[in-house]
Every structure is written in structure tokens, then in C-alpha cells.
Amino acid sequence: MNKLTKNMHLLSITIFTAVIMLLTLMPGNVSATEPGVLTVSHLPQSVSLGTNITVTATFDNDENITSIKILYCALEPEYLCHVPQIDMINTDTNTWKGSFVVLDDDGIIGYELHIVHSDGTMIAPNSSDYLGHDNIAEPFPGLFYFTIEITTPTSNAPLNIGAPGIVITYFVLTIIRKRKNR
């Protein structure tokens, strides 16, 4: 990565972090807790580049929730958020689902929920809301993500030696046949 690209990347991370911090400091607009979130889960559990992940959130009562957005970011080896945010859909009473495709090929990714209530209050749940989860990460103070480790897919396909292997095999068999005929 050249110096200009690296500086631009660091600037974008700084701006993004500043915006998130400003949002969390605005009184009456953002809350750090969300009572009533029962579960947050994702499927599949094992993911790699190109995997479609479905996130499901259930609530004890979602009647005041107007929207939920998923913010998907690469957390390791380098922090990088993918935009735009993904809208979740209310699929059933008290159940919301949203999907995104994994754009990273290694490391750890994460997603954060932004819950918007009918009064305009945005909720960004924190780690105390999910004490039972072992996959919570805090890459920056006050930013909490559900984490997913990217796995490298393994292949059980036979070794493909291609054209060079066929040519080498042909010459080896020809030499063996000539020696046999002597």
C-alpha cells in the first residue's frame, strides 16, 4: 500500500470514528443501552469470502422500533467498515433479519446494530446488553461488534497437475518404453 493510500485510509477511519463518537455524545439522540433485545445471531457460523450472512435479532417488544441497520466492518487484520449500512426487515412479530455478503478473505469481521425508535432515538447496544455472548469485540472505546472469524475454505478436489504434468508423464512413459524394448 503506497503512502498516499495508507494516509487516505487512516483519514477515513479517523473521520468514521469521529462521526460515531459525535453520534454517541448527542443527548437524547443516541442511547448506549437497549432493553428488550432478546437474541442476536447469525448464520452460517463458518464463513469465507463471498458467504451470505443472515443476521437475526429478536426483541421482547418491537412495536416502537422503526428500523434496524447493520454496520459491517473488517476488524482484523485492519479495521475497515463497508458502507452503506444494511437495512434489516421485520420478518415476524418481534423478529428482524438482514443479510450481507462477506467482502474480506481473512481475519475477523464484525457487525454492529443501529436500532431506531419511533421517537427518533438511535440505540447502539453495548457489551453489557450482551453479557452472555462470547463473540463481542470493542475495537474502539464504546464501539461493540459481534465478531465472526473468517475461515479459509479447504478443497478435497484431487491434485490438478494440468498440461505440464501430462507432457512430463508422456516423456517418462516414452523413455521407460524405449528402455524396455532394448
Residues 135-144 have pLDDT tens digits of 888 888 888 8
Residue 83 lies in a domain: yes
20, pLDDT greater than 50? no
7, pLDDT greater than 60? no
In terms of Cα–Cα distance, which of 100, 92, 32 is closest to 58?
92
Residue 13 has which C-alpha cell? 477511519
Residue 70 lies in a domain: yes
In the prediction, which pLDDT does 129 show? 65
Give me the residue label for grid cell 448464520.
Answer: 43
Pinpoint the alpha helices (H) of the chain.
Answer: 3-25, 162-181
If pLDDT is split at 50, 70 and 90, which confidence band does 166 have?
A: confident
Residue 167 lies in a domain: no
Residue 173 lies in a domain: no
CATH code, domain with 79: 2.60.40.10
pLDDT in tens, 90-131: 999 999 999 999 999 999 999 999 999 999 999 877 666 665
Compute the distance between CA of residue 108 and CA of residue 90 in angstroms, rounded to an integer: 28
Pinpoint the alpha helices (H) of 71-161.
Answer: none
Residue 164 lies in a domain: no
In terms of Cα–Cα distance, which of 30, 31, 28, 20 is closest to 141?
20
Compute the distance between CA of residue 53 and CA of residue 68 in angstroms, rounded to an integer: 16
In the prediction, which pLDDT does 28 show? 36
Range of the domain at 46: 3-149
62, pLDDT greater than 70? yes
Compute the distance between CA of residue 146 and CA of residue 143 in angstroms, rounded to an integer: 10
If pLDDT is split at 50, 70 and 90, which confidence band does 52 have?
A: very high
Residue 26 lies in a domain: yes
In terms of Cα–Cα distance, which of 99, 96, 109, 133 is closest to 47?
109
Which is more confident, 88 or 34? 88
**Count: domains in the chain:** 1
The reply to whether the predicted model has a pTM over 0.85 is no
Residue 161 lies in a domain: no
105, 9 in Cβ contact below 8 A? no
If pLDDT is split at 50, 70 and 90, which confidence band does 34 have?
A: very low
Beta-strand runs (E) in the chain = 30-31, 37-43, 52-59, 65-76, 80-87, 89-92, 95-101, 108-117, 122-123, 136-140, 143-149
Residue 168 lies in a domain: no
Percent of the chain with pLDDT over 70: 71
